Structure 1
Amino acid sequence: MPKIYLAVFKKKIEINHHLFYETSHSPSLVDIVGPEQLGDVVDFCFIENPYYPDEDLLKKLQEKLPVVIKSYPSSNPILAQKDLSAVVHVKPEFLILGNGATELITIIQGLLVEDMGIPVPTFSEYIEKLQNMEKVKLFQLPADKQYRLDLAAYADWLEAEKLSSALIINPGNPTGQFISREDLIAFLERMKKLKLVLLDESFIDFAGEEIPSLMPFVEEFKNLVIVRSMSKHCGVPGLRLGYCCTANSHYLSKIRAALPVWNINTLAEYFLTQLKETDTVYHQARKRVIADVRELYDNLSKLEGYEVYPSQSNFILIKIKHNLTAYELQMRLLQEFGVYVRDCSNKVGLDNKHIRVASKGRDKDQLLVYALRELANAIP
């Protein structure tokens, strides 16, 4: 076992199993194992940036807490939009901040979508938040091509099904598969007749040294709405920050009208004011994550008993080639090694042999590789 994890568990980690059956999302680690065992488990399930915020920014947030917790957030969203605009380099009026990306997904699905094509497997909120499931068409991604989305085939299918809206997640979740900016622009040119193209770029910051986002192109495609989760690339899921970006004034007005006043909390607002000052630190952290994932992918690919899918995100999808199911592997990793991974069995479009793992930094990633190897060697 890696030197930093030489401790041997005298007893198995105790798990609240029932929590896994009560939501389509993975339950939080503290709920599963309790606060007493939290230090004994490494969470490779929830996706984050382990290097940002850095210690200096965390200290600022801690120092500011006594003030912001006694203050109302601003009732003027343009102020926070300007703070975000300074680092994502689009016009602030094209941005809408949400209480997590899921708030915006729910509103967009409810107000802007009449019918939609959804490639699967996907992030479950995109299916669960649709108002009329009868108008959802699922586009199954091919398992023999590692669930890669062929945009030309997708466009043909959208036209044949006569759908008005389309979803694309880039890089894909849970697949990590990346679509180039050039291919997406070609798709958007062909699909200008669609009412809506919803593009989720929550993981795009990990797709390359230069971020291949389509946000600079929103003015060219009036049917394009981009959604991003700051939980993923900024590593602040507890602040509940997400945003969408579009140049469509009708969509902007409808989404804004549906948002409650003060939907962003005061600590999250303060975090946004720090983005410009910490932008250099953020990009250093982002590139460090990219390097870590590349090393993790190389190490996982050497293991027998698994098929490791290429990823341009901060997580990796793995197919189990030995006899354990994803749930069985998840439980054994958690109980025997203190390793928590995502069982993808409840993802529409996937079977029960896939797990997703997020990089937690090179030291912790060693434990994941070790545990997967030990279990594969122990299975007949």
Structure 2
Amino acid sequence: MQAIILAAGMGKRLKELTQNNTKCMVKVNGVSLIDRMIHQIQKQNVERIVIVVGYEREKLKEYIATLGITTPITFIDNPIYDKTNNIYSLSLASNYLCEDDTLLFESDLIFEDSVLDSLVRDPRPTLALVDKYESWMDGTCVKLDKDDNIEAFVPGKKFKFDEIKDYYKTVNIYKFSRDFSKTHYVPFLDAYQKALGENEYYEQVLRVITMLDDPVIKAKRLNGQKWYEIDDIQDLDIATSIFTPDEDEKVALLQSRYGGYWRYPKLLDFCYLVNPYFPPQKLVDEIKANFDTLLRDYPSGMRVNSLLAAKNFSVHQENILVGNGAAELIKSLMERINGKTGFVRPTFDEYPHRYDRAESVDFTPDNRDYNYSVDDLMDYFGDKEIKNLVVVNPDNPSGNYIPKKDLLRLIDWCMKKKINLILDESFADFSDEENNTFIDQEILNKYKNLYVMKSISKSYGVPGLRLGVLASGDTDLIAFMKKNVAIWNINSFAEFYMQIEEKYKKDYSAALVKFRAERARFQGELAEIPGVRVIPSQANFVMVELDKKISPKKLLKKLLTKHSLLIKELTTKTNGRNYLRLAVRDKEDDDRLVAAMKEEVRTFL
């Protein structure tokens, strides 16, 4: 068996990284793509490696000569690499295809060893390596039948998004038997190129072959093995985090992304917090049906969007403000207040991080559950001469919940002491107490010192829309903040969501009932794991304390690298103590986390 690598292209989308180097010389975690690939191929004991070169060919040849490869290497020059596509590069190596069984590669790939192992060890002689289509993938797709026959090649021009559940992406690694090359591929390659020219792609030849009664070639499906195609700097960034051998670096790189995990299709995110049972499919379909309009048209300005929020929460327009996520509103609000401000720690860090540390007064509950009551807050802050108090209810990460009647006592106390109360109720809908919102016109009218923040992303399960609201009886501050944020601070999709959300209130109520049941079940399952103590939560997450033998950082690393599960460890929030915060997802996902934790926790005990 031999290997053929197509490495003639210019890699223009990598911009300055390929100004003086070939695409395959770009490095991922300090190792070039071609270095990694050739060493992986050599492990398969191939007879020779044939590399088709073009752009910066001499640099590439000289570089490969330094890699210490013992397998014989033959170079084929493509002198018109800038005028042709890869069909011409492969045609230059067609004689080699007919001489031996061949592993065929494009040079812009990075993959783990098991990808190549699975292809080589498969007894079927002619295979196209494929993987289930994911949203980050680009290029040729195929449809398969149950016997791995390729029913159709789907080039980019014929790609249909409503059929993606049936698509597999070609990995651009193939195994061709010598007989297949001689009787099928090379003859069709020659004919196709003569008919349509040299500016085509070799996959199109395979598309024609699959139309034959006996195309010979089958698909080889991957099953979770890691690979990535690197076309641009974003691909390079993601590949760096996927393939870093340093587990600590892998954790840091993923955590520093703060989302965007759809580019990691096998990853389950138990770190960021949403509603797993809302929105319903009908709401999603309604947004899809209006996609073209929403994409092409400007959203309304602040006045109209405040009106929509006022309608949804049954308050007056002058009492509510819409934000590009609650984070935008938190930033604007914290910049507006002044004087000593009280915080409960640990809490949602966006509040204390947005305020002057010298003017901050922290209260930390003196118990292992980090729970506290209104009386605890009033006792602690009673003599601190604060002007503002921030309370997240339920709190993050503890899940501590203060009932509505007690919060009303706290608001009265704050009013008497001329303290502004900033109440974040982003997680309040998940609590067992219903009708607990403080975005209520009567309450806002009575308490001008109350500022109620709510993240629509967290409560309603639409974090991609970036929506949040702030409500208050302080209409002067609301009016100021409306001028302080951008006039188009939310997009058309977020506006349309607010426009239709009211129709789905029954669905939202039903989703909360399902959620509360799953949270209770999830907490029960976690409590059965030795070394794990569950702290009762009223939010859409659960905080757990680990046995002192269990390192939260090491457990996080194991869950991420071995099980593709991302969790939140809380050592920095709890002065080095052994706590985790785990988002509540649906039953299938939660069970996957519980099983992985059972497996890994026992290794510490």
Q: TM-score if structure 1 supplies the norm length?
A: 0.89
Identity %: 25
> 2:589 maps to which residue?
364
Decide whether the 8 Å contact of 1:111 with 1:254 is kept in 2: no
Answer yes or no: is the 8 Å Cα contact 2:403–2:433 preserved in 1.
Answer: no
Per-residue deviation, residues 142-162 of structure 1 (Å, max 9, x unmatched): 233x10123223223223111
Match of 1:185 in 2: 408
Assess if the C-alpha contact under 8 Å between 1:83 and 1:276 holds in 2.
no
Report what 1:251 is aligned to: 477
Distance across 2 between alignment mates of 1:175 and 1:27: 24
**In structure 2, the residue corresponding to 1:319 is in which secondary structure?**
strand
For residues 28 and 331 of structure 1, the distance between their equivalents in structure 2, rounded to whole angstroms, comes to 17
Matched, 1:286 2:512: yes
Residue equivalent to 1:337: 563
Aligned to 1:266: 492
Q: Separation in 1 of the partners of 2:305 and 2:474?
A: 20
Please say if 1:122 is aligned against 2:347.
yes
Q: What is the aligned partner in structure 2 of residue 74 from structure 1?
A: 300
1:211–1:326 CA distance, 2 compared to 1 (3 A):
farther
Which aligned pairs between 1:113-152 and structure 2 lie closer than 5 A? 113-130=338-355, 132-144=356-368, 146-152=369-375
1:328-374, Cα deviation, whole Å (9 max, x unpaired): 11110111222211122232x44341111111101111111111111
C-alpha distance in 2 between matches for 1:240 and 1:368: 27
Answer whether contact 2:414 2:420 (CA < 8 A) is retained: no
Comparing 228-237 with 62-71, greater Cα deviation is found at 62-71
Cα separation, 2, equivalents of 1:155 and 1:266 = 43
Q: Which of 311, 318, 333 is the matching residue for 1:108?
A: 333
SS in structure 1 of the partner of residue 290 of structure 2: helix
2:138 — aligned with what? none
| Cα distance, 1:345–1:14 mapped onto 2, change above 3 Å | farther
The one-letter code matched in structure 1 to 2:389 is A
SS at match of 2:602: helix
Q: Which segment drifts farther, 54-63 or 169-178?
A: 54-63
Q: Distance in 2 between matches of 1:325 and 1:89?
A: 47
Aligned with residue 317 of structure 1, among 543, 548, 572: 543
Inter-CA distance 39–170: structure 2 relative to 1 (3 Å threshold):
same
The one-letter amino acid paired with 1:201 is E
Which has the larger displacement, 298-307 or 163-172? 298-307
The separation in 2 between residues aligned to 1:370 and 1:105, in whole angstroms, is 37
CA contact (8 A) 2:309 2:321 kept: no
**Range 14-23 or range 356-365, more displaced:** 14-23
Note if contact 1:112-1:251 (Cα within 8 Å) is conserved in structure 2: no
After superposition, the Cα gap between the structure-2 partners of 1:22 and 1:141, relative to the gap in structure 1 and judged at 3 Å, is farther
SS of the residue corresponding to residue 454 of structure 2 reads strand
Q: Is the 8 A contact 2:318 2:475 kept in 1?
A: no
Question: Match of 1:351?
Answer: 576
Unpaired stretches in structure 1, ≥5 consecutive residues: 1-6
User: Match for 2:600 among 363, 375, 378?
Assistant: 375
SS in 1 for 2:421: strand
Show the 5 A alignment for 1:8-27: 14=243, 17-18=248-249, 21=252, 27=257
- State the match for 1:172 in structure 2: 395
Contact 1:45 1:358 in 2 (8 A): yes
TM-aligned CA deviation for residue 8 of structure 1: 9.1
Distance in 2 between the 1:68 and 1:29 partners? 23
Distance apart, 1:20 and its partner CA: 5.4
Answer yes or no: is the 8 Å Cα contact 1:204–1:211 preserved in 2. Answer: no
User: CA shift at 1:19, angstroms?
Assistant: 7.2
Q: Which of the numbers 359, 382, 398 marks the counterpart of 1:159? A: 382
Shift of 1:322: 4.7
CA distance in structure 2 between the aligned counterparts of 1:53 and 1:120, rounded to whole angstroms: 32
- Aligned-partner SS, 1:308: strand
Aligned counterparts of 1:66 and 1:151: Cα–Cα separation in 2: 49
Distance across 1 between alignment mates of 2:273 and 2:300: 29
- Amino acid corresponding to residue 309 of structure 2 in structure 1: L
Contact 1:171 1:203 in 2 (8 A): yes
Aligned-residue Cα RMSD (Å) equals 2.4
**SS of structure 2 residue aligned to 1:297:** helix
Q: How far apart, in 1, do the equivalents of 2:511 and 2:436 lie?
A: 17
Q: Is 1:203–1:232's contact at 8 Å kept on the other side of the alignment? A: yes
Q: Which amino acid aligns with 1:280?
A: K
The change in CA–CA distance for 1:161 and 1:79 in structure 2 (over 3 A counts) is: same
Any idea what SS the aligned residue of 2:386 has? coil
Count of matched residue pairs: 365
Unmatched segments (≥5 aa) in structure 2: 1-221, 228-241
Cα deviation for residue 93 of structure 1 reads 2.5
Q: Shift in Å at residue 82 of structure 1?
A: 3.3
Partners of 1:121 and 1:209 in 2: how far apart?
23
CA contact (8 A) 1:108 1:255 kept: yes
1:104 aligned counterpart, secondary structure: helix
The corresponding residue for 2:217 is none
Cα distance in 2 for residues equivalent to 1:299 and 1:332: 20
Compared with structure 1, are the counterparts of its residues 125 and 19 closer, same or farther at alpha carbon in structure 2 (3 Å cutoff)? farther
2:424 matched to 1:200?
Answer: yes
Alignment of 1:25-104 (within 5 A): 27-28=257-258, 30=260, 35=263, 38-75=264-301, 77-104=302-329
Task: Return the alpha-carbon distance in structure 1 between the equivalents of residues 488 and 260 of structure 2.
Answer: 28
Deviation at 1:29, TM superposition (A): 5.5
Deviation, 1:84, is: 2.7
8 Å Cα contact 2:270/2:585 also seen in 1? yes
Partner of 2:452: 226
Give the TM-score taking structure 2 as reference length: 0.57
Q: CA deviation at 1:21?
A: 4.9
Q: Give the Cα–Cα distance (whole angstroms) in 2 for the partners of residues 379 and 80 of structure 1.
A: 52
Q: Which structure has the larger Rg?
A: 2
Of the two structures, which has the highest relative contact order with CA contacts closer than 8 Å and spacing of 6 or more?
A: 1
| 1:239 corresponds to | 465
Alpha-carbon separation, structure 2, partners of 1:11 and 1:250: 54
